[in-house]
Amino acid sequence: MLKPQIHNLSSSKTLLQCHKPFFSGNLGAKPAFPNIKRARSSSSGNKNKNISTSVSHAARSSSSIKSVANYTETTTEVLATVVVQFTVSGFLSNLGWNPLDDISDLFGKSIQLELVAAHLDPSTGLEKKTIKGYAHRAGNVDADDVKYECKFKVPNDFGEIGGVKVENEHHNEMFFKTIQLDGFPNGSILVNCESWVDSHRDNTDNRFFFTNKSYLPSDTPEGLKKYRENELMKKRGDGTGERKSKDRIYDYDVYNDLGDPDKDAKLARPILGGKEFPYPRRCRTGRPRSKKDPLSEKRGSSVYVPRDEEFAEVKSLSFSAKTVYSVIHAVIPSIENVSIDAELGFPYFTAIDTLFNEGIDLPEVPKSTLINLLPRLLKTVTDQGKNLILFETPEFLDRDKFKWMKDEEFGRQTLAGLNPCCLQLVKEWPLKSQLDPKEYGPPESAITTKTVEEVIRGFMTVDEAIKKKKLFIIDYHDLLLPYVKKVREIKGTTLYGSRALFFLTPIGTLKPVAIELVRPPMDGKPQWKEAYAPGIDATSGWLWKLAKAHFLAHDSGFHQLISHWLRTHCATEPYIIATNRQLSEAHPIYRLLHPYFRYTMEINALARQALINADGIIESSFAPRKYSIEFSSVAYDKLWRFDHQALPEDLISRGMAEKDPRAPHGLKLTIEDYPYANDGLILWDTIKQWVTDYVNHYYPKPGQIESDEELQAWWEEIRTVGHGDKKDEPWWPNLKTPKDLVQIITTIIWVTSGHHAAVNFGQYDFAAYMPNRPTIARVKMPSEDPTDEEWKTFERRPEDALLSCFPTQLQASKIMAILDVLSNHSIDEEYIGEAPEPSWAEDPAIKSAFEVFAGKLKELEGIVDARNNDKKLRNRTGAGVVPYELLKPYSEPGVTAKGVPNSISI
């Protein structure tokens, strides 16, 4: 076959390299380029639609025709445009741009491209030779991108373009956004890269990018099967060696890098993942082992994630994760340095207010570095020249300064607050622990029928309340009680096993009924437990306030460790690893899932570095302190089920809904005005319909799911490796039908989008004012085995007892700074349904389905607004009530307590 030449090579030179005629004398052959429609690319700005690579007979008049001896050759001139993205610090400047690269650019030798045919040569059964060319720099696309161009002469019998091989001749890696091929008679072909490409000097293995056309494994053209298999093999690696920053390898490991025993024996932590502490797997880094604990990985200044999972070079400086890094490594240490006494609590309630109106002076923070990163926090007082952390007043506090004290708000936030996914229907009475009574004491709850009926008297009896589904509970008793003794050994911390009971009133609100706090037998003392109810006198009123503070500290810890970290960040990482190891980038399911995974591995790595690590932010300021991540392992073991991560199944499992084909979404809610469930179910159904349309399009025939070897390997690896500690559980869904696949994928997307948004973006608004959601309780209840002097002190100044229970000034300040950035939307946030992926727009049916999806999400915006103005919905409206908008799909940048991004990127 002819080896095509590029640019202005002579015809005679081309003919000397000719081996076979293209058409064997038949000028009436069928067009060689089958239709390939390409997506609209938001990155390149190309607007063309409904295009293909067919060469029609009529179009051949524009081709270059060369007649030699007994055959005729026809070619089409194609222009390849490569778009490369600038880095955040200027075009590749932070990568050490080499002057020699400018010379390469000048002579057009900086990027080599090879067009790869999708199909084999029909006459030989072999791969067709690629068509090579060098791209030269051709100027800027816009302020963010630079383009390179290359011209090809493509023989018209070359057939369908399957992909492009790329060799980066620069001295440094480059971030490729798109490659667009223009000049085919029926339009352009777009290759969506969105990937770093190594310098050929560092990696001689060229990169291959598929076109935006998706293929099931069984439909893959023969010419692409090798590339499909090779790309997967590269991303799997061989499971050995320490990963380098430029690697693209996805593999599994246990959580053995949270402790730091080499630094201090007190920082040793158990390995999470395995029989003793079951846990999802994280991305393998292969770092050296700790000297003092061979099972642990040695910590370093950074954590490997596959190169394309990183965001630092391709996201703007305003990206929230960069801000998190700055807060952790600059602001928090400065707060610690200016703190006079790490154990100092707030002396009075107005002192808490000073964080919002006076701030904290941070002389050590470099203003030039942080002024742009922390626009909400870092304030400059020009007349004094100081850097101040001055916290924004949360809307919750601005609307009603005393709402945090009110029981009706305590009840409302269980349905429309930061952790709305732990409430359960009470189905058995009396309440009873399942723990071993020999170790933990009598299992009967201190909350008795009498306790409850003294509060709900006038409504109904306990038996009637249970029968009519009016009693609800948040129960952390059995999870926390085994940790009470260990946590109490930590200075400045206490813990209880706890429960909170609620009654559903006739107007649909929750009335707090009782809180139980339990201490197991310890230190020679028997079990201690007490049930607290809303006060009817001064003393019981203050004890109730203190009991709420203790319970809310437990709820805050559970929220951060389980509802947030475990159920979203941690559980999702194995899905990402398996998707990259087992699904080709040309697989339609890979392309469906990809936007819902962006940047999650990077933010998880950052969390392991400074948030959930030994003595990190979580351990230092949340219950249950140094046992926090170990506690999340216990919750994973006892509570986590993949099938219950689906919102409808979650609601049913908690008794918050039951199946009813006549009800909206097929579910009848136990509490009609349940904002998290009400808005969440619309979002769930919208996601599910989008996934259904997508899956049914690519799997129209019976048996295609079971015969898709990549898909089956993907699901097998998630179950048996990524979540391998639960591989034998009977509740794992089968993957045999399109319906099975729809449920699995909808569950994954719901977790990364809706569930994460519901438990993340309200953190500052609900928890920045620490009395509303304290993260830790520092002292025991005054009523737990008090001395006469302790009791007299409590009666004399009960406010001091509450302030002593709250986090210290240092703990509160650190948590507020972290919650501010964790609740922040960056200016380039990618919201669910906002824009289609280029490959989705490749097919008219998928594009149409996405447009329906996007339209439904816009409808949800209006539904949320209408609900927040419906005076009958008392859990989302009323005097001083902040509207529930956490599942409202879109948001402006900043801390807004609304907006549902595609992925867990903060």
Could you list the active site residues?
564, 569, 756, 760, 906
Tokens 């009637």 label which residue?
A: 464
Which amino acid, residue 360? Answer: I
Tokens 């006079």 label which residue?
A: 340
Q: Say how far residue 780 (Cα) sits from the centre of its chain.
A: 36
Token pair belonging to 340: 């006079």
CA distance 773 to 812: 11
Indicate the angle between helix axes 571-582 and 222-236, nearest 10 degrees: 140
Contact between residue 115 and residue 154 where contact means Cβ atoms under 8 Å apart: yes
Whether the upstream peptide bond of residue 430 has omega within 30° of 0, thus cis, is yes
Phi, psi of 873, rounded to the nearest 5 degrees: -95, 90
CA distance 609 to 255: 12
CA distance 878 to 875: 8
CA distance 223 to 587: 16
Nearest 5 degrees, angle CA 200-CA 203-CA 207? 80
Numbers of helices and strands, H then E, in the chain: 31, 23
- The Cα-based distances of 90 to 121, 145, 265, 316 in angstroms read 44, 10, 44, 11
How many residues in total does the chain contain?
906
CA atoms within a 13 Å half-sphere pointing along the CA-CB vector of 167: 15
Hey, what's the torsion of the CAs at 136, 141, 145, 151, to 10 degrees? -30
> What secondary structure letter does DSSP report for 417?
S
Contact between residue 652 and residue 297 where contact means Cβ atoms under 8 Å apart: no
Please compute Rg for the chain using Cα positions. 31
- The Cα-based distances of 538 to 446, 542, 640, 685, 798 in angstroms read 22, 6, 42, 49, 10
Q: Going along 738-868, which residue ranges are E strands?
A: 824-825
Q: Name residues whose C-beta falls within 8 Å of residue 337's C-beta, 6 or more positions apart in sequence.
A: 364
Q: List helix spans (H) across 626-752.
A: 628-639, 647-653, 675-698, 704-707, 709-717, 738-750
- SS3 for 138? strand
- SS3 for 547? helix
CA distance 663 to 183: 54
Nearest 5 degrees, angle CA 749-CA 751-CA 755? 125
DSSP element (H, E) containing 181: strand 174-182
CA distance 39 to 21: 34
CA distance 283 to 252: 5
DSSP element (H, E) containing 65: strand 64-68
Phi, psi of 110, rounded to the nearest 5 degrees: -95, -25
